[in-house]
Amino acid sequence: MMTENELNMLAAYMVDTHGFKAIQYAESAVSELEMIGETLRADAWRSLRSVVLDMVEGRRSRAGHPLH
């Protein structure tokens, strides 16, 4: 299981590396994992996608802090 800090660090890395495409990569992973019945792994990617989206849209800092 990933900690919240690890999830934030991974999301920040994805955003820094891929920008807006990080959202698409996470969505693709969710779809592919659901198709093969890997629901737990799909849920993990869904959580990551949510954090990536928050970072891309400016609701969360790269450190994981909420932005107002």
pLDDT (tens digit per residue) in 2-28: 899 999 999 999 999 999 999 999 999
Residue 1 has pLDDT above 90, yes or no: no
> Is the pLDDT confidence value at 68 over 80?
no
Give the torsion sign (CA, 52, 57, 60, 66): negative
- Whether 63 shows a pLDDT value over 90: the answer reads no
The predicted model scores a pTM of 0.90
Higher pLDDT, 46 or 64: 46
Q: Per-residue pLDDT averaged across 20-40, rounded?
A: 97
